[in-house]
Chains A and B, each alone.
Chain A
Amino acid sequence: DARVTQTPRHKVTEMGQEVTMRCQPILGHNTVFWYRQTMMQGLELLAYFRNRAPLDDSGMPKDRFSAEMPDATLATLKIQPSEPRDSAVYFCASGLAKPWEGVPAPTEAFFGQGTRLTVV
């Protein structure tokens, strides 16, 4: 049963602490997306990778957020230092880009169950 796996599922941390969220994409997928979901803003795209290379991270606050793919089986999203306004559910999604397509749309990707982050 192929699925996107995110850890941890829940995280409570104090303001100023570093937070690292992990995602294991579906084996064979070549594109990974990071999303943030809040009640006020809905779903927002933070960053996406193709073949482990970051293609767009314009949705991410650069001063405190960073996203990486150390290898094809792991994507990480790090916040340092964390702030209360970062409290949200963070979703990872993976997909398979067709050669003629460039990048698959997030609507054609498979989502993980999310990491619920609370910064107090």
Chain B
Amino acid sequence: KQEVTQIPAALSVPEGENLVLNCSFTDSAIYNLQWFRQDPGKGLTSLLLIQSSQREQTSGRLNASLDKSSGRSTLYIAASQPGDSATYLCAVRPVYSGGYQKVTFGTGTKLQVIP
């Protein structure tokens, strides 16, 4: 059974700081991994999707890396801003093996960027 862990559960940083969020998964047979942000009282917004054959994806100030063999992904946020304050979730999709592929979500890291 796939387990996805995100550490730390909460993080508070001053504005402008670069930061790294971590996501670990126990089963390396994954199809892709995705990072989401969730604002309070809102749904999920997709940030970056990394296919299993890729090492990283970048979008603006965000960079996500994937090391499948070690079961880890990181989300790097450069020059953090108060608007980045949210909960960040990673989700792992397993390799297709017939039927529905049950995606496993991590429990999230709650980020607060202090002005």
Contacts and interface: CB of A to CB of B under 8 A. Distances in A.
Interface in B87-103: 89, 91, 93, 96, 100-103
A45 B44 contact: no
9 contacts: A42-B108, A43-B105, A45-B102, A106-B91, A107-B34, A107-B46, A107-B49, A111-B43, A113-B42
Given A45-B103, A56-B100, A107 B43 contact: no
B81 interface: no
Given A55-B100, A106-B103, A116 B41 contact: yes
Contacts of A103: 100-101
Contact of B42 (A42, A43, A114): A114
A26 interface: no
Contacts of A56: 100
A107 B91 contact: yes
Interface residues on A, range: 20 to 34
B32 interface: yes
Interface of B: 31-32, 34, 41-46, 49, 89, 91, 93, 96, 100-103, 105-108
Interface string A101-120: 01101111001111010000
A4 interface: yes
Interface centre among A55, A105, A106 (most CB of B within 10 A): A105
Interface centre among B31, B34, B44, B91 (most CB of A within 10 A): B44
Nearest to B6: A42
Given A42-B105, A43-B105, 15 more contacts: A43-B89, A45-B102, A56-B100, A103-B100, A105-B101, A106-B103, A107-B34, A107-B46, A107-B103, A108-B34, A108-B49, A111-B43, A113-B42, A113-B43, A114-B43
A99 to B, nearest CB: 15
Nearest to A56: B100
A4 B43 contact: yes
